A and B are shown apart, each in its own frame.
Chain A
Amino acid sequence: METIALTIDGKKISCPSGTSILEAADQYGIKIPHLCYHPDLKPFGACRMCLVEDEKTGRLMAACVTPAAPDMVIQTATARIIKHRRNIARLMIAEHPESCIVCSKGNRCRLRQVSAQLGLGETNLYHLPNFKPLEQANPFIIRDLSKCILCGKCIRADHELVVVGAIDYNQRGFKSRPATAHEVGLERSNCTFCGTCVSMCPTGALSAKTSSYVGSPERESNSICGFCGVGCTLAVGSANEKVIEVNPAHLAQSINGATLCVLGHFAHDFLNSEDRLISPLVRNNENGKEDELVPMAWNDALDLVVQRLIEIKNENGPQSIAFLGSSKCTTEENYLFQKIARAAIGTNNVDNGGYTSGQFLTRVFDEKTDGGWRVNPLRNIEKAEVILVFGADPNHSVPVVSYYLKRAALQGTPIIVVDPKQTELVKFASFWIRPKLHTDLELINALAALLHEKQRYDSAYIDKYTEGFSIFRYSLTSLDLERACQVTGIDRQCLMDIVEAMNGKKIAFVVGHGILQQKWAMHSLGAIFNLSLLTGSLGSEKGGVYVLARENNQIGAMDMGNVPHLLPGRQALDNDAARKRWQKNWRVKLSPDPGLNVVRMIEAAEKGNLKAMYIMGENPLRCLPQPQRVQKALAKLDFMVVQDILNSETTQMADVVLPGAAFPEKHGSFTNLEGRIQSFTPVVTPPGNAKPDWEILDLLIAKIQQSEAYETLEKIRMEIRKYIPAYAQLNGQKPGWIAQTSQKALFHNPNADGLITFYPVVRAAEKSEDADYPFSAIIGSLRYHLGSGTRTNASQRIHGFDLFGEIEISPEDGAKLGMADGDCVKVISQFGTVQRAITLKKEIHPGEIFVPMAVNSNDAMNLIELTNLDDPDSPGWKTVRVRLEKA
């Protein structure tokens, strides 16, 4: 790129051509005041506050929209410019209401800052405030558009960054304001309450609503969002040791830039919920007294836990104890947690809540690529030539990913969506295919077969990086395409169109829970893997496989060996060499016996084989299918410890409850869905006597092993760095990435020469439909809740949003059943029922219904059968056959 030289305020500077004067000056520390400029938004030039003067011509121009030109001589603060800036600010203030003192924006208001810099007091203008009604019918955002200065940042953020388009300018002149279509309240528009516009607004026109007066933050420090797997960087404002405000931190290279979603931005008020656990509790079994949980001192409670666990271990063996850890807790905590299980107690019965979203199935990719597939910066999505989205609705599950996808679509990248539901992404897609339920595997295999048949595959790549193509292609030729079309309901022409769109392109595959929790998930993942090889996409900067992670640290939990079959560093437990290494690291003997995953734990408890469970940061009574069955199973345990932050269905059953800390209350690290390792430091202290979870675990392991405690987090990190090469960059300081340690040639390791094999072509067995249950219910999430909704339901804001989770039914089925919006329906599966109001949606396919999770104590789980997602016969947790009755 061409470099140009110019002079600003007497300083000689140079910048790439195309840079605006404002940005060029900024790089040399010359600050030009501005109100409508934002580095992530397209230049707009609405406020004129950034006026500068061209010394040669005397011309005044807006620095944010004027590109720097060679040999310009610019002045940024002459008397003439100041005079103009002051006039502009005076006009804005003349139109502004006189409520600065009580404005929630306080001294963070940019208009106030700029006016103060310009030394403005009274405007001496005829005051003409532009009163608009205050809009605050929703629990998230207050709009006081009398304070709007029409900078357009909110509108541009809404269109350019989060690509929702809920608001735009309406009217013109004095009446002009940002408005929703039909000028309805935000809650009746398509606004997602991501709050990005709120953080952008330079004045108090847009602000976050709080249920009670919280004042303005005393301190602000950065953290990482602990809700979904994106791992947004946050600027967290606090006062009196309470988190009261969250904004995007907007750090260079952060995943989220200036955006967030409704959870990160607003749902953090769960931290101040009355349901927070603030003291260790122990079940009181004294005679004559009601069985209840009573407070106990930390040391006594921990001694009790250790004593009971050791007793049970001595009596029934280590396999009678199971540890359910958390995909929400930190990487360091997950490491300690499984170490307690494997090294201190001697059982491989460890798992984490990530199981429920099928995360562990990604081991197909691990095995095939020696872990090489795992680092996938989302920024590369911008470079993808085609994006193929399988069973993923990131607008609801991991919103920031959807922003990336929609922005790519606006840039012209073709998106192909494969989903039974008309998701919000479909509007941005070039193709939308709607295979019949449970037929993704056939569809993906058929695409592979067609790519092969039409020779639309990347043979140079296949020759160089893979082996066994001849066997694989033979299985592809033996696939019956006619049958595949019949089974999936997608005709050959349509498949052909997709194949043509994929031809010669590097593809980013985005895989969501529609695949992960679905029947034949493992085979479907394998088939997607094959597509990524056939098209030469895997390992390319322009492609790869992005598996969505619902929760913040699903990846870290799995990396730390908080799954039964993997030791830390994702080394297989049944690999003798790996096990020996960890025996040496920990100086203990490790059991080779395979451990139980969470479903097997429940089954073992049911049979009476499991005696004790230690549950950290999970609420199995809410997140697992068939909650009544789970409850009965847990009731059979002799001893149950629950370490958590909120009072929950599960803590109510515990013998000992240990209060942990939430992410802004402790040190730790999360690994996000890209493979980015991000550490954070506390913003506030934990409530009451609650302790950071790693401290609790540290005390426990020392007590059980009668060894010294780690005492500092750095010591734990040191151990992780030392023994897990992939985590060499976990240092508590700068964000890092999972290291590339794959021995496959594809991943550019200098000495790696391994070749990759294809996943076998598996054909799914025909399924028979059950006439008693004529509908298929799809269970899925809404953006206002995370997972089973334990934390989000404790948020007053989310609560105040009155989300009923209406069951979505196609208008055709609604007509057939004689049901209209708001009617109540009973959904009955073989395993349980759910009763709710319905809403008719054209996005739903006839014969299918959508049941949102997380509302009504997550009763959607009643419908599904608690089966092992690993089992080839498992029907999955995503869909279930149901019948509908009017209620």
Chain B
Amino acid sequence: MKPTEVDWQQLQTIIDEHRGDQWGLIPLLQAVQEHFGYVPPETIEPIAEAMNMVPSQVQGVITFYAGFALKPKGKYVLKLCRGTACHVKGSRSILRLMQRELDLKEGETSPDYQFTLETVACLGACFLAPAMMVNQTYFGKLAPTKVNSILDEYKKEKKEKEK
């Protein structure tokens, strides 16, 4: 999802649905993220105003939860597990491989907004270690060849679209 000009009208509609709700901040942020793909920083002030909070508080909530992002993410978000079980099974070298293949560091998004590379502490799929997720899909028992073929799949998908 590329960064977009914020559609203020749209934003207002979303905000109005949650205005004044008690404990409404997180649902509102989810709705904003749902719509824009991330929480554009310039929405912090209007959100704060509607929720009767100060902007620094709203930002604090956004940056506290890994689920919210202030920057747009790639179409495919790759979450590689760096939890204990996966670490023991070699997820560190998987990470290096992925960084090389995608030319991305942890937390970065590719300039074409196709891929975002992230790490997490445990995906809750330790029996599949080393594991990763691409958007909502799990991949387990990763090995370099398997990782390469997964990445190729997603890269191919992109090229096909471009044709």
Contacts and interface: CB of A to CB of B under 8 A. Distances in A.
Q: Do A and B come from one complex?
A: yes
Given A170-B63, A182-B44, 19 more contacts: A159-B54, A165-B53, A165-B55, A165-B57, A166-B54, A166-B56, A167-B56, A168-B56, A171-B63, A172-B63, A179-B59, A180-B56, A181-B45, A181-B54, A181-B56, A181-B58, A181-B59, A182-B55, A189-B56
B117 to A, nearest CB: 18
A159 B64 CA distance: 18
A172 B64 contact: yes
7 contacts: A164-B54, A166-B56, A168-B56, A170-B63, A171-B63, A171-B64, A189-B56
B41 interface: yes
A368 to B, nearest CB: 39
A172 B65 CA distance: 8
A190 B55 CA distance: 10
Contacts, number: 44
Contacts of A164: 54
Nearest to A171: B63
A165 B60 contact: no
B63 to A, nearest CB: 5
Contacts of B59: 168, 170, 179, 181-182
B44 A170 contact: no
Contacts of B57: 159, 165, 168
Nearest to A166: B56
A194 to B, nearest CB: 15
Contacts of A159: 54, 57
A169 interface: yes
A250 B157 CA distance: 66
Contacts of A167: 56
A168 B44 contact: no
Interface string B32-49: 000000000100110010
A168 B57 CA distance: 6
Contacts of B45: 181
B39 to A, nearest CB: 12
Contacts of B60: 168-170, 179
Contacts of B41: 182
A176 to B, nearest CB: 8
Interface of B: 41, 44-45, 48, 53-60, 63-64
Contacts of A190: 54
Chain A interface size, as a band, is: 10 to 19
Contacts of B64: 169, 171-172
Interface string A151-190: 0000000010000111111111000000111100000011
Contacts of A165: 53-57
Nearest to B65: A172
B149 to A, nearest CB: 34
A533 B64 CA distance: 51
A182 B45 CA distance: 10
A327 B44 CA distance: 44
B63 A181 contact: no
A189 B54 CA distance: 11
Contact of B55 (A169, A172, A181): A181
Contacts of A189: 56
Nearest to B52: A427
Contacts of B53: 165
A817 B82 CA distance: 60
Interface in A180-227: 180-182, 189-190
Interface in A825-879: none
Contacts of A169: 60, 64
Nearest to A183: B59
A189 B57 CA distance: 13
Q: Lowest 5 A-B CB distances belong to which pairs?
A: A165-B54, A181-B55, A168-B56, A168-B60, A181-B56
A171 B64 CA distance: 5
Contacts of A182: 41, 44, 55, 59
A141 to B, nearest CB: 16
- Interface core residue of B41, B48, B56, B57 (most chain A CB under 10 Å): B56
Contacts of B63: 170-172
A811 to B, nearest CB: 15
B75 to A, nearest CB: 25
B14 to A, nearest CB: 20
A237 to B, nearest CB: 30
A444 to B, nearest CB: 29
A886 B54 CA distance: 36
A569 to B, nearest CB: 47
Contacts of B54: 159, 164-166, 168, 181, 190
Nearest to A172: B64
A180 B57 CA distance: 9
- Interface core residue of B48, B54, B63, B64 (most chain A CB under 10 Å): B54
A538 B58 CA distance: 41
Nearest to A167: B56
Contacts of B55: 165, 181-182
A606 B41 CA distance: 60
B52 to A, nearest CB: 9
Nearest to B60: A168
B49 to A, nearest CB: 8
A646 to B, nearest CB: 38
A332 B117 CA distance: 72
A221 B59 CA distance: 40
A778 to B, nearest CB: 25
A172 B61 CA distance: 10
A173 B59 CA distance: 16
A190 B58 CA distance: 15
A189 B44 CA distance: 13
Contacts of B44: 181-182
B55 to A, nearest CB: 4
Nearest to A173: B64
- Interface core residue of A167, A172, A181, A190 (most chain B CB under 10 Å): A181
A542 B59 CA distance: 38
B42 to A, nearest CB: 9
B8 to A, nearest CB: 15
Nearest to B70: A182
A182 B48 CA distance: 13
A167 B53 CA distance: 12
A171 B63 CA distance: 5
Contacts of A179: 56, 59-60
Interface in A386-405: none
Nearest to A176: B64
A43 B44 CA distance: 28
- Interface core residue of A168, A171, A172, A182 (most chain B CB under 10 Å): A168
A179 B54 CA distance: 12
Contacts of A168: 54, 56-57, 59-60
Contacts of B48: 181
A471 to B, nearest CB: 45
Contacts of A170: 56, 59-60, 63
A166 B54 CA distance: 8
A167 B48 CA distance: 13
A165 B63 CA distance: 17
A181 B45 CA distance: 9
A189 B48 CA distance: 14
A171 B53 CA distance: 18
B45 to A, nearest CB: 8
- Interface core residue of B41, B45, B64 (most chain A CB under 10 Å): B64
B48 to A, nearest CB: 8
- Interface core residue of B44, B48, B63 (most chain A CB under 10 Å): B63
